[in-house]
């Protein structure tokens, strides 16, 4: 499966900032692998986060272990850089369920 190719055709992989990776684990017990799975598994819902000068997006999706996670990320060149990863909030789960029902 391609890395969000239906949204970002030139993305080839992930870029991690070690501080963000450890923060995601410490605060939310979300590993780098789980965050990446959200971007690789389908269905995934991507929406604009409307943040500052650097474009940021939310990805709502599932891990291989069926955890529902929200990933905040930016695109830097051919890499998707995860800024934060956490369990979906109740409103986000509702949005994800509605968007993926068909």
Query: Phi and psi dihedrals of 13, rounded to 5?
Result: -175, -165
Cα→Cα distances 69→24, 26, 35, 77, Å: 11, 15, 8, 24
Q: What is the pLDDT of residue 88?
A: 97
CA dihedral 71, 72, 75, 80 (to 10 degrees): -30
pLDDT per 10-residue tile (average), the chain, 102 residues:
76 88 91 94 88 84 97 93 96 94 76
Query: Phi and psi dihedrals of 10, rounded to 5?
Result: -100, 5
- For the whole model, what pTM was predicted? 0.89
CA dihedral 65, 71, 77, 79 (to 10 degrees): -20
Q: What is the pLDDT of residue 10?
A: 86
Q: What is the pLDDT of residue 1?
A: 45
What are the structural domain ranges in the chain? Answer: 13-100
Secondary structure (3-state) at 72: strand
């Amino acid at each position: 499966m391609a890395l969000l190719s239906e949204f970002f055709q030139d993305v080839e992989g992930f870029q991690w900032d070690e501080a963000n990776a450890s923060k995601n684990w410490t605060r939310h017990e979300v590993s780098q692998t789980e965050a990446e799975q959200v971007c690789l598994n389908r269905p995934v819902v991507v929406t604009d986060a409307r943040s500052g000068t650097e474009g940021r997006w939310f990805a709502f999706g599932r891990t291989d272990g069926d955890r529902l996670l929200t990933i905040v990320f930016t695109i830097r060149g051919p890499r998707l850089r995860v800024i934060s990863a956490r369990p979906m909030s109740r409103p986000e789960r509702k949005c994800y369920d509605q968007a993926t029902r068909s």
